[in-house]
Structure 1
Amino acid sequence: MNSKPNSTISDKTERFSSRGFILAAIGSSVGLGNMWKFPYITGENGGAAFFLLFIICLILIGLPVLVAELAIGRSGRGSAASSYSKAGGPKAFRLFGLMQVLAPFLILSFYFIIAGWTLHYAVLSFSGELYSNTDFEGQFSALTSGYMPLVWQVVVIMVTAVVVLKGISGGIEKFNKVLIPALVVLLIVLMIRAVTLPGAGEGISFFLNPDFSKLSAESALVALGHAFFSLSLGMGIMLTFGAYMDKRQSLGSASVAIGVGDLIYAFIAGLIVFPTIASFGIAPDAGPSLVFMALPAAFSAMPLGSFFGGLFFVLLAFAALTSTVSLLEVPVSYVMERLRLARTKAVILVSVLVFLVSLPSLLSFGLVEGLTKMGGKSFFDWLDFIASNILLPLGGLATTVFVGYFWKNAAEAAGLKARWFKVWLFMMRFIAPILVLLVLLHASGVISLQ
């Protein structure tokens, strides 16, 4: 790896291999969102019908925007902040590029905390300590309102930083080549255990037999928003990864592979969570508490529950780490480009800054009253709201408008066949911007369709 300071990513010789890029991109997309968020929003929106809606949103909107972000990144060969202008766009889009650097930085500040929880729960489960007290809500509250998450957070930050400072091919690519196969093995083991539990059929039916009467316009926007989130769109990751792509790699084929990987992961996650909770009488719409409060109750009553529970939280931890590595690379690449720092110095600087910004979130779970209640949300919740509900949709909207109306080199950069390019450009001009704007207005609370 070239360790000399450089002003642009394009100066570097680092590149993903074709397979390495796809694994890294899948690793970014199969984070906690699909294993934690996807099951509970699916449960809240009717199960199989919502999953089908999610697939439609991912194919019709998610994949075209994914192609766009990768094309912009590969064309510009810069950080997320400079990709639009380096690809030949107006300088005004630098602001949207900067927002796509800020978004992963803010997401990391609370994502590191959640990743730490998963490691803590894995240790508690394997040791059996998690199941010595059946007050799982109380256990989770005690954890989040104490200082132990700080220790685990530091562990996650250090692991992530070590991977990223080793670079693209030697760090991120190698890391995902190990963790993605490990994730697949864990997913299959846990799925087999879940679908063979007594009473699991009800959960399988809920997940696979659609009831379209439970869908609403609200469900459509939730599905579209999750399609964006699960593909890591609007947060600078795919812009940054695109800068490290080989010019000969097909964007269309790579995007389809990433989308298929994302869907398979979500599908298996559903076949783990819903049969498990059905087997033990847990409501599928348990919400965000599903993973850390409801599922431990199921594992506690399951034969070899401490072992399978431990595997489940290791799975969550692995999924979280594949995402934190991708998220950290975005601000690191920006600092390398903007401040002309070597990778090691950039990684250390960004990691320390993220840690400092994360402290108020860590303290907002009851440790500091002023951070717990800030206009109806905790500091943790506000960061999540700003990053996930405002910055991400704005980033996606900027991409669609840029490609649809400002990018003269879109055809050459995308490398799509003429027929597919016309379809893609139509989506970027007339369909995607409207839908992404609706997601932004809905997610930010401006409109409600209930």
Structure 2
Amino acid sequence: MKSHPSNQNSSSDNKERFSSSGFIFAAIGSAVGLGNMWKFPYITGQYGGAAFFILFVVCLVAIGLPVLLAELAIGRGGRGSASSSFVKVGGQQIWGRLGMISVIAAFLIISFYSIVAGWTLNYAVSAFSGNLFANPDFTGQFNDFMSGRKPIVWQLVVLLLTGLVVVKGVSAGIEKFNKILIPGLLILLVVLMIRSLTLPGAGAGVSFFLNPDWSKLGAESLLVALGHAFFSLSLGMGAMLTYGAYVEKSQSLGMATLAIGGGDLLYAFIAGLIIFPTTFSFGINPAEGPGLVFIALPAAFSAMPFGALFGGLFFMLLAIAALTSTVSLLEVPVAYTMERWKWTRTKSVWIILFLCFLLGIPSALSLGAASNLNLGGKAFFDWMDFIASNLLLPLGGLIVTVFAGYYWKGAAAESGLTAWWFRLWLFMLRYVAPILVLFVFLHTSGVIKF
């Protein structure tokens, strides 16, 4: 009798494979996320508009894509978790232990990322129902929402939705989910872009986004661009390495890497053509961070024709982007626990989500109802973000570059690159990526300041 994929252990689960298109959709879903909707406009506005976007493209192509290819190759070569794949392709046990950094990072990120994802779901429902625009005090609405228990409730909703996808397995769950939502995401992006570009005064926002101000570029902007390229491709958190374990041997990893990078860039570019025209049209500062999304933009939507509809679509867009990312993040610790302790997929999913929910409660409360939950001037939420994003992710990426660039003998065969491209890839992994990733780590950890 053949068991259902959700009840298989890790050794049989790895027999599951993405289809070629399914893998691309899933990987792009992992790459696009909430950061591109408010962090990207914030840092783009701060560091020179198109000048920063060009720098971001250079960092993504020169550093992000080589590291992405390395993660996919290690995952497919090892056919294991983000920890064990290093050992299975010929590494010593110490590499498996170092790979645990990515597993821990993914777990921590789910715990606080799901909170912000919950905000977007709440706002989508509120916008479509009309409740969001019934009261013009959007600052008060956001503060009221944050001061209660609703953030915890909506975090739980996000975690449950994520679990319902991942528990079904790789092909029946993750692949099918992304094949439906990623095309939907693109449609929403195009609809909102057209609406934004047709607003009065939108041209000023487009001009700001597309005209470079080279005077604002410097060493700090380079590290910020590199860090954002790293995070936007889901590098260092084990997601791409884990997804790589489900890729068929016949699939070209080089072409897949280009497709994923292209999808991420397209999303970032269209996001810019949504945010900047809208903010300039309504006199909003695009560098407002989270306040831009949950306070300033609702005010803009309320002032435009059919604002409730477009506001609902905007927050639905954010919610979809968040969910495709939480799905990929959850698969990292799920694959590890299934392999390490021979748990069923069902057991792994719900135990990990329960622990993420518990860890997320103080994070959610520290931004509202229990804002006194802070250490050293940082809220609990901010500490989780700092530890995962600023420390663990750069370390995880550094481990991948060193392993693939210096240690792994089978890198050439698994990457599938021609001799010339392989030499270029190896050069980037050995001499460029580790140095820049190390500088990102030193900068984000506060050791290097500008």
Shorter-chain TM band: over 0.9
TM-score (norm: length of structure 2): 0.97
Kindly provide the amino acid, as one letter, of the partner of residue 448 in structure 1: K
Query: How far apart, in 2, do the equivalents of 1:267 and 1:130 lie?
Result: 28
Q: Aligned-pair distance for 1:93?
A: 1.5
Query: How far apart, in 1, do the equivalents of 2:394 and 2:323 lie?
Result: 23
TM-score (norm: length of structure 1): 0.97
Is it true that 1:162 corresponds to 2:164 in the alignment?
yes
Correspondence for 1:411: 412
Q: Aligned-pair distance for 1:368?
A: 2.6
- Greater shift, 293-302 or 417-426, is seen at 293-302
Kindly provide the amino acid, as one letter, of the partner of residue 38 in structure 2: W
1:166-210: CA deviation from partner (whole Å, max 9, x where unpaired): 000000000000000110110010000000000000000011111
Query: How far apart, in 1, do the equivalents of 2:297 and 2:10 lie?
Result: 48
Correspondence for 2:428: 427
Query: How far apart, in 2, do the equivalents of 1:178 and 1:104 lie?
Result: 24
Query: How far apart, in 2, do the equivalents of 1:3 and 1:347 lie?
Result: 10
Contact residue 70 and residue 242 of structure 1 kept, 8 A: yes
1:267-297: CA deviation from partner (whole Å, max 9, x where unpaired): 0000000000000011122233211122112
Q: Aligned-pair distance for 1:40?
A: 1.5
> What pairs with 1:224-239 in structure 2 (closer than 5 Å)?
224-239=226-241
Correspondence for 2:183: 181
Query: How far apart, in 1, do the equivalents of 2:290 and 2:319 lie?
Result: 17
- Out of 257, 260, 266, which is 1:258 matched to? 260
Could you say if the C-alpha distance between residues 185 and 3 of structure 1 is closer, same or farther in structure 2, counting changes exceeding 3 Å? closer
Kindly provide the amino acid, as one letter, of the partner of residue 73 in structure 2: A
Kindly provide the amino acid, as one letter, of the partner of residue 428 in structure 2: M
Query: How far apart, in 2, do the equivalents of 1:8 and 1:210 lie?
Result: 51
Correspondence for 1:103: 105
Correspondence for 2:269: 267
1:1-24: CA deviation from partner (whole Å, max 9, x where unpaired): 445553546x63200001000000
SS in 1 for 2:294: coil
Query: How far apart, in 1, do the equivalents of 2:344 and 2:444 lie?
Result: 38
Contact residue 44 and residue 284 of structure 1 kept, 8 A: no
Correspondence for 1:195: 197
Correspondence for 1:56: 58
SS in 2 for 1:234: coil
Correspondence for 1:389: 390
Correspondence for 2:9: 6
> What pairs with 1:355-394 in structure 2 (closer than 5 Å)?
355-371=357-373, 373-394=374-395
Query: How far apart, in 2, do the equivalents of 1:271 and 1:19 lie?
Result: 27
- Out of 232, 248, 251, which is 2:250 matched to? 248
Query: How far apart, in 1, do the equivalents of 2:307 and 2:242 lie?
Result: 40
Q: Aligned-pair distance for 1:140?
A: 1.4
Kindly provide the amino acid, as one letter, of the partner of residue 347 in structure 2: K
Correspondence for 1:120: 122
Q: Aligned-pair distance for 1:363?
A: 1.5
Query: How far apart, in 2, do the equivalents of 1:13 and 1:284 lie?
Result: 46
Contact residue 157 and residue 351 of structure 1 kept, 8 A: yes
Query: How far apart, in 1, do the equivalents of 2:412 and 2:246 lie?
Result: 20
1:127-167: CA deviation from partner (whole Å, max 9, x where unpaired): 22222333322221221121011221111111110100000
Correspondence for 1:287: 289
Could you say if the C-alpha distance between residues 274 and 369 of structure 1 is closer, same or farther in structure 2, counting changes exceeding 3 Å? closer
Contact residue 90 and residue 406 of structure 1 kept, 8 A: no
Could you tell me which runs of 5 or more consecutive residues in structure 1 were left unpaired when the two chains were aligned: none
Query: How far apart, in 2, do the equivalents of 1:427 and 1:163 lie?
Result: 36
Kindly provide the amino acid, as one letter, of the partner of residue 346 in structure 1: S
Query: How far apart, in 1, do the equivalents of 2:380 and 2:279 lie?
Result: 31
Tell me the number of residue pairs that the alignment of Structure 1 and Structure 2 aligns. Answer: 447
Contact residue 44 and residue 287 of structure 1 kept, 8 A: no
Contact residue 14 and residue 245 of structure 2 kept, 8 A: no
Kindly provide the amino acid, as one letter, of the partner of residue 380 in structure 2: F
Q: Aligned-pair distance for 1:317?
A: 0.4
SS in 2 for 1:88: coil
Correspondence for 2:27: 25
Could you tell me which runs of 5 or more consecutive residues in structure 2 were left unpaired when the two chains were aligned: none
Contact residue 66 and residue 255 of structure 1 kept, 8 A: yes
Query: How far apart, in 2, do the equivalents of 1:287 and 1:370 lie?
Result: 22
CA RMSD of aligned residues (A): 1.2
Correspondence for 2:94: 92
Kindly provide the amino acid, as one letter, of the partner of residue 428 in structure 1: L
Contact residue 8 and residue 79 of structure 1 kept, 8 A: no
Kindly provide the amino acid, as one letter, of the partner of residue 390 in structure 1: L
Q: Aligned-pair distance for 1:422?
A: 0.4
Kindly provide the amino acid, as one letter, of the partner of residue 122 in structure 1: A
Q: Aligned-pair distance for 1:302?
A: 1.0
Kindly provide the amino acid, as one letter, of the partner of residue 431 in structure 2: F
Contact residue 60 and residue 261 of structure 2 kept, 8 A: yes
- Out of 69, 73, 76, which is 1:74 matched to? 76
Q: What is the percent sequence identity of the aligned residues?
A: 68
